[in-house]
Chain A
Amino acid sequence: MNHLNEEQLVLFYYGEAPDTQEVESHLAGCDVCREDFRALQLVLNTVDSAPVPERSATYGQAVWGRIEGKLGIRRRPSFMRWWMWSPALAALILAAFLAGRLTHQSDGPTLAKNQRNVQLAGSQQVRERILLVAVGDHLERTQMVLAELNNAPEGKGKLDISDERQIATELLDDNRLYRQTARSTGDTAVASVLDDLERVLIEIAHSPSEVSSEQLADLRQVIESRGVMFKVRVLGSRVREQESKPVSNRDKISKKL
C-alpha cells in the first residue's frame, strides 16, 4: 500500500484534494500517514500564531488622510462649495455697500432729503448686515484652511497643499476688499485682524504646491506667531453674534473687540 505524499496531505489540509474521501479513508487506516498529517497540521497551525499588529477602527480614515492629496481630487470641503462664487459676491456686496455710503454722504440737509436719508440708513443697515454675513463666511472659510494646514499629517515625504494654496489665493482677494472696507468704515480692530490674516494668506498662497515637513513647520510657525487662528476664531464668533442680533441693536463689531 502506497503512502500519501506531502502534496496530497497539503491539498487535503486546505480542502483542495481532488480525492478527499480516498485520503480520509487512507488516513483512517494508516498510522504512518496519520502521524505525518498530524505533524503537518501542527506546523501549519503554529504559523497562525504569527502576530499581526492591530490597527485601530479609525485606521481607514488615517489612510484616507495620507492618500487624498495624492489622488488628484480637486474638491473642496462641502461647506466651501457654494463659496466658489464668493469673489463675485464680495465685489457685488462691497459695491452696493460703498454706493450706499457715497449716496448717503452727498445728500443735502433738506426735509425731503432727510426723509430719504432715513430710508437710505435703513437700506445701509441691510447692506452692512449682508457685508457682515460675507465677512463671517470669509473668516469661517479661512479658519478651515488654517486648520487643515495645522492638522495635516506629517510624513516622510512631501505634502500636497495645492488645494489650500489655491483657496488661500482666492481668499486673498476677498480679504483685501474686506480689509479696505473695514478701514474706510473705521473698524480698525477688524482691519487689523484682516491685515494679519492677509500676511498669512500671502505666505500660504506663495508656498510650493508640495511642501516638505520643514516647510510645513515654517508655515505653521507663521500661523502661530501671528496668533491668527485665535484672532480669526474670536472675530468670527463675534461677527456671528452680531449677525444674530436685530439690526437696530447692532453696534459696530470693533466696539466689542
Chain B
Amino acid sequence: MEVEAGSAVERARSGDSDAFRLLVEQHSRAVFRLAFRMTGNEEDAEDVVQETFLRAYRQLDKYEARSSFATWLYRIASNYSLDLIRMRKRHEDRRERGSNEDHDILQSIPVDSPSPDRIVYGSEVQHKVNVALNELSAQERTAFVLRHFEGMSIEEIGNTLGTGTNATKHSIFRAVQKLRRSLEPVVGSAR
C-alpha cells in the first residue's frame, strides 16, 4: 500500500490531480479520526480534514519521502488542530461563563456509588473521558493524542510539533497527570 501511495505522491507532485484524489480517498478517514481526537468535535474535525488536504496539496513540493506520506499528513493535521484548539480556547476564555458546566457534571456523578446499569456507566465514563480530554491544554492534548492514539514516539511528536523532545515529554506527563486526576475516581469506582 505504501509503495502505491509513494507512486501516487510522485504523480501528484508532477501535477496529476487524479493521483492526489487517490491520496485523499486513501487517508481521509484516518485524518478524520486523528482530527476528532484532537479537537473533540465533528465540525472542527471536518474542518481539519479539509484544511489538511488543501495545505498538503499546496505544499506537496515540500514533502520529503524520508517520512511516510501518512506521517507528513498527520503533521499538517496536528499543527492545524493545535491552532484550532488554541483559537477555540481563546474564544472560550473570553466568554464569561458563570461556571464550567462540564465540571459541574463531573462533580455531580457520585464517585463512590457504582451505577446499577453498566451501559449507563459506560456512557458516563465516555463522557468523563471527553471532559477530561477537553481540560487538557492544546499542547498537552495534541502531544497526548499523537502518543496515545497514533503511537508516535515522543521524539517524532517533538519533530512534528516543532517543540523538541523534552517539552513534548512534559506535555505528555502533564496530560497523563490531569487525566488521572479526573478519571481515577471514576474508574476506581468500577473496580
The yes or no answer to A118 lying at the interface (CB within 8 A) is: no
Q: How far is the CB of A160 from chain B (nearest CB, A)?
A: 12
The yes or no answer to B29 lying at the interface (CB within 8 A) is: yes
Instruction: Give the complex CA separation of A70 and B27 in angstroms.
Output: 18
Instruction: Give the complex CA separation of A6 and B169 in angstroms.
Output: 12
Q: How many residues of A contact B (CB 8 A)?
A: 31
Q: How many residues of B contact A (CB 8 A)?
A: 43
A6 and B17 within 8 A (CB) = no
Q: Which residues of B contact A60 (CB under 8 A)?
A: 24-29
A55 and B28 within 8 A (CB) = yes
A73 and B133 within 8 A (CB) = no
Q: Which residues of A contact B130 (CB under 8 A)?
A: 50
Q: Which of B21, B29, B154, B184 contacts A43 (CB 8 A)?
A: B184
Q: Which residues of B contact A14 (CB under 8 A)?
A: 147-148, 154
Looking at chain B's contact residues, the main secondary structure is helix
Instruction: Give the complex CA separation of A67 and B58 in angstroms.
Output: 12
With both beta carbons as reference points, the residue of chain A lying nearest to B31 in the complex is identified as A63
Q: Which residues of A contact B186 (CB under 8 A)?
A: 46
With both beta carbons as reference points, the residue of chain A lying nearest to B33 in the complex is identified as A52
Instruction: Give the complex CA separation of A243 and B70 in angstroms.
Output: 50
A44 and B176 within 8 A (CB) = yes
Instruction: Give the complex CA separation of A75 and B54 in angstroms.
Output: 17
Instruction: Give the complex CA separation of A46 and B129 in angstroms.
Output: 8
Interface bits B14-56 vs A (CB < 8 Å: 1, else 0): 0001001100111111001100110000100000011001100
Instruction: Give the complex CA separation of A7 and B27 in angstroms.
Output: 33
B37 and A52 within 8 A (CB) = yes
B126 and A73 within 8 A (CB) = no
Interface bits A16-54 vs B (CB < 8 Å: 1, else 0): 100000000000000000000001101110110111110
Instruction: Give the complex CA separation of A193 and B184 in angstroms.
Output: 72
The yes or no answer to A71 lying at the interface (CB within 8 A) is: yes
Q: Which residues of B contact A44 (CB under 8 A)?
A: 148, 176, 179
Given A16-B154, A63-B53: A47 in contact with B25 (beta carbons within 8 A): no
Instruction: Give the complex CA separation of A45 and B20 in angstroms.
Output: 36
Instruction: Give the complex CA separation of A135 and B173 in angstroms.
Output: 69
The yes or no answer to A66 lying at the interface (CB within 8 A) is: yes
Q: Which residues of A contact B32 (CB under 8 A)?
A: 55, 59
A46 and B125 within 8 A (CB) = yes
The yes or no answer to B6 lying at the interface (CB within 8 A) is: no
Given A10-B172, A49-B122, A49-B129: A64 in contact with B25 (beta carbons within 8 A): yes
B180 and A40 within 8 A (CB) = yes
B173 and A10 within 8 A (CB) = yes
A10 and B176 within 8 A (CB) = yes
Instruction: Give the complex CA separation of A37 and B54 in angstroms.
Output: 43
Given A42-B187, A44-B148: A70 in contact with B17 (beta carbons within 8 A): no
B interface with A by C-beta (< 8 Å): 17, 20-21, 24-29, 32-33, 36-37, 42, 49-50, 53-54, 57, 122, 125-126, 129-130, 132-133, 147-148, 153-154, 169, 172-173, 176-177, 179-180, 183-184, 186-188, 191
A interface with B by C-beta (< 8 Å): 6-7, 10-11, 14, 16, 39-40, 42-44, 46-47, 49-53, 55, 59-61, 63-64, 66-68, 70-71, 73, 75
15 contacts between A and B (CB under 8 A): A6-B177, A16-B154, A42-B191, A43-B187, A46-B183, A47-B133, A49-B129, A50-B133, A53-B42, A60-B26, A63-B50, A64-B21, A64-B28, A66-B50, A67-B53
Counting from the closest, the 9 A-B pairs by CB-CB distance are A60-B25, A60-B28, A63-B28, A50-B129, A73-B17, A64-B24, A43-B183, A42-B187, A46-B187
